[in-house]
C-alpha cells in the first residue's frame, strides 16, 4: 500500500516534482507584480460590481439573458477574489503552504473558471431558445433562472473541490504533475480536455446561431415593417455574447493547453517558462468582460455611467434643489411633461441619457 503525505508541506512536493516556485521573485520584481495584480483585481471588483448593479437597477435588464450576464459578472468578481488569494500565496510562499491551503488556492481558481464556463453554456441555451423563436428574450421564468444560477455555482464548487475529494497524488507521488505538484496528471488531462471540448462546442453553437440570425434577419427585413433597430437587437445581443465567448476562449485556451501538456508529462515543452504569463492572460479575461459589456451594449454603458456620475452629483443636486422655489417645481401639472422634464434633467446631469432607447429599442 502506498504511503500518503497529507501532513507534508508543499516544499516536499515541489522538490519531488522539481517544480520552480520562483524563488527569484523578490525585491522590485515582486513589487511590480503585486502592484499590477492589485490594480487589475481592484478594476475587476469595481467594474463587475457596476455590471451587477446595472442589471438590478435598470428594469430593461430584468430578463433571463441579463440575469445570466450578471451572474457571469459575479463569476468574474469571484475570479478576482481567487487571484487576490493566489497573489499572496504564490512564488516563494508556495513552498510554505500546507496541503489544504494549496488545495484552497487552486480550488478557487478552478471554481471561477467552471462558473464562467457553465454560465456561458447556459447563456448559449437561453440564446438558442429565444433566437430560434426570433425573440429578443426567452420565456424562462425567474424561478427557473434562479435555479439555473444556483446549479451553475453548485457545479462550479463541486468541480473546484474534485482534487480535494480524492483525485490527487498525495498517496502516489509518482503521478504528480509539475505545474500542480499535488494534482494527478490524469486529472489535469481530464480537466483540460473537458474544458477545451466545451470551448469547441460553444464556438460551433454560437456560430450556427449567429448565421441563423443573420439569415432570418435578412429575410424578415424585406417582409416586415417593424423598426430596423428592433430587428437588429437579437443580432446585437449575439455579438455581445460572441465577443465575450471569444475573449474567454482566447484568454483561457493557452493555459489549458499548458495543463494538458503537463498532464501528458511533456518534459521538453518548457511549460514552466510560460505558466505565469498564461495565468496573467486568464486574469485579463475578467478585466475585459465589463469593458465588452459597456462597449457593445449602449444601454448597459448608459446605466453604468448614470450610476457613477449621479452618485457623485447627488449631494450637489440636493443643494441646488433646496434653493429652487417650490412654484418652479410645481409649475406643470401634466404628468407626461413631468416625466419629460425629469428625463431632460437626468440627461443633463449624467450625459448620454438617451442611450436606453438605442440599446434596447
pTM for this prediction: 0.76
What local confidence, expressed as pLDDT, does residue 283 receive? 81
pLDDT of 316 above 60: no
**233-284, pLDDT tens digit by residue?**
566 767 777 888 888 888 889 989 988 998 888 877 777 777 777 888 888 8
What is the rounded CA–CA span in Å between residue 279 and residue 90?
Answer: 12
Q: Does residue 294 fall inside a structural domain?
A: yes
Task: Give residue 243's pLDDT.
Answer: 85
Contact criterion met (CB below 8 Å) for 217 and 234: yes
User: Which residues in 282-313 are b (16+ Cβ under 10 Å) and which e?
Assistant: bbebbbbbbebbbebbbbbbbbbbbeeeeeee
CATH number at residue 94: 1.20.1070.10
**Per the structure, how many domains does the chain have?**
1
Q: Are 138 and 154 a contacting pair, CB within 8 Å?
A: no
* Residue 145 maps to a domain: yes
pLDDT (0 to 100) of residue 313: 52
Of the CA atoms within 13 Å of residue 139, those in its CB half-sphere come to 3
If you write DSSP's letter for every residue of 313-324 in order, what string do you get? HHHHHHHHHTTS
Rg (CA), the chain: 25
Question: End-to-end distance of the chain based on CA atoms, in angstroms?
Answer: 67
Q: How many CB atoms lie within 10 A of CB 268?
A: 6
Residue 35 — very low, low, confident or very high, per pLDDT cuts 50/70/90?
confident
Q: Is 1 a domain residue?
A: no
Percent of the chain exceeding pLDDT 70 equals 74
- C-alpha cell belonging to residue 141: 421564468
Report whether pLDDT(213) > 60.
Answer: yes
Least confident of 40-49, 70-79, 304-313, 333-342: 333-342
Domain limits for position 66:
10-224+234-309
Per-residue pLDDT band at 25 (split at 50, 70, 90): low
Segment 14-22 shows an average pLDDT of 68
Express each pLDDT in 138-190 by its tens digit.
667 888 899 999 999 999 999 999 999 989 989 888 888 888 889 999 999 99
**Nearest alpha-carbon partner for 149 in 126, 168, 183:** 126
Looking at the domain assignment, is residue 61 inside a domain?
yes
At residue 39, does pLDDT exceed 70? yes
Is 345 contained in some domain?
A: no
For position 59, what pLDDT does the model report? 86
C-alpha–C-alpha distance, residues 166 and 183, integer Å: 10
Closest CA to 100 of 169, 177, 9: 9
Q: Write out the H or E segment, with its range, that includes residue 311.
A: helix 298-321
Averaged confidence pLDDT in the chain: 76
What is the structure's pLDDT at 343?
Answer: 36
Residue 220 domain flag: yes
Residues paired with 98 in a beta bridge: 9
Overall average pLDDT of the 96-114 stretch: 92
Residue 4 maps to a domain: no
Residue 222 has pLDDT above 70, yes or no: no
Which residue carries 448597459 as its cell?
300
In a domain, 338, yes or no: no
Residue 333 clears pLDDT 70, i.e. is over it: no
Amino acid at each position: 500500500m502506498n504511503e500518503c503525505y497529507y501532513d507534508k508541506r508543499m516544499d516536499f512536493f515541489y522538490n519531488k516534482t522539481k517544480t520552480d516556485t520562483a524563488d527569484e521573485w523578490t525585491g522590485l520584481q515582486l513589487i511590480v507584480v503585486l502592484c499590477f495584480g492589485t490594480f487589475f483585481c481592484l478594476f475587476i471588483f469595481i467594474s463587475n460590481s457596476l455590471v451587477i448593479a446595472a442589471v438590478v437597477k435598470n428594469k430593461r435588464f430584468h430578463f433571463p439573458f441579463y440575469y445570466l450576464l450578471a451572474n457571469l459578472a459575479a463569476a468574474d468578481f469571484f475570479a478576482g477574489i481567487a487571484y487576490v488569494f493566489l497573489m499572496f500565496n504564490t512564488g516563494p510562499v508556495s513552498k510554505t503552504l500546507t496541503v489544504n491551503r494549496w488545495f484552497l488556492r487552486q480550488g478557487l481558481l478552478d471554481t471561477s473558471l467552471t462558473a464562467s464556463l457553465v454560465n456561458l453554456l447556459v447563456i448559449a441555451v437561453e440564446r438558442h431558445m429565444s433566437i430560434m423563436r426570433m425573440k429578443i428574450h426567452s420565456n424562462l421564468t425567474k424561478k427557473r433562472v434562479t435555479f439555473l444560477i444556483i446549479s451553475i455555482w453548485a457545479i462550479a464548487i463541486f468541480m473546484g473541490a474534485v482534487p480535494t475529494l480524492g483525485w490527487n497524488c498525495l498517496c502516489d507521488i509518482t503521478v504528480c504533475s509539475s505545474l500542480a505538484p499535488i494534482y494527478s496528471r490524469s486529472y489535469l488531462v481530464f480537466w483540460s480536455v473537458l474544458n477545451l471540448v466545451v470551448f469547441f462546442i460553444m464556438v460551433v453553437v454560437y456560430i450556427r446561431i449567429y448565421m441563423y440570425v443573420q439569415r432570418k434577419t435578412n429575410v424578415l427585413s424585406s417582409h416586415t415593417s417593424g423598426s430596423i433597430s428592433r430587428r437588429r437587437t437579437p443580432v446585437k445581443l449575439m455579438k455581445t455574447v460572441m465577443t465575450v465567448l471569444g475573449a474567454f476562449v482566447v484568454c483561457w485556451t493557452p493555459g489549458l493547453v499548458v495543463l494538458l501538456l503537463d498532464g501528458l508529462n511533456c518534459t521538453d515543452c518548457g511549460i514552466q517558462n510560460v505558466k505565469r504569463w498564461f495565468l496573467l492572460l486568464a486574469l485579463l479575461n475578467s478585466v475585459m468582460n465589463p469593458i465588452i459589456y459597456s462597449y457593445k451594449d449602449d444601454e448597459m454603458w448608459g446605466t453604468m455611467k448614470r450610476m457613477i456620475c449621479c452618485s457623485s452629483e447627488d449631494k450637489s443636486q440636493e443643494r441646488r434643489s433646496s434653493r429652487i422655489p417650490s412654484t418652479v417645481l410645481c409649475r406643470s401639472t401634466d404628468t407626461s411633461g413631468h416625466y419629460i422634464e425629469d428625463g431632460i434633467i437626468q440627461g443633463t446631469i449624467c450625459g448620454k441619457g438617451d442611450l436606453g432607447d438605442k440599446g434596447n429599442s
